[in-house]
Amino acid sequence: MEEVLSNLQPRIRKVIELTYFEGLTAEEIAQKTGTSASSVRHNLYRALSKLRAVLLETGKAKVTASANRKGGSKGMLVEYPRTL
């Protein structure tokens, strides 16, 4: 996890750490970091996108087509390896 997180910019990494490791809300992170809640959410979405890309590049996640949705719409689903 440390290796994957090291690919993020420090401010974006901080948002991930505060959200997932400390369980803070966007409003709480905004107060703690001196930014707005919308900025925190934006950084969170950027971080998740970046982490997804890194995991796909390193082969630690795989992408499968999700064609079985109602209405026939197609999309992408990222599957993460199961841990035991």
Kindly list the domain boundaries of the chain, sorted by start residue.
2-79
For residue 69, what pLDDT is reported?
Answer: 46
Strands (E), 1-84: 62-65, 76-79
Q: What's the CATH fold of domain 2-79?
A: Arc Repressor Mutant, subunit A (1.10.10)
Q: Return the amino acid letter for 61.
A: A
Residue range 6-53, pLDDT digits in tens: 878 888 899 999 999 999 999 999 999 999 999 999 999 988 888 888
* pLDDT reading at 5 higher than 90: no
Distances (CA, A) of 68 to 58, 61, 80, 82: 27, 20, 19, 22
- Residue with the larger pLDDT of the pair 45 and 57: 45
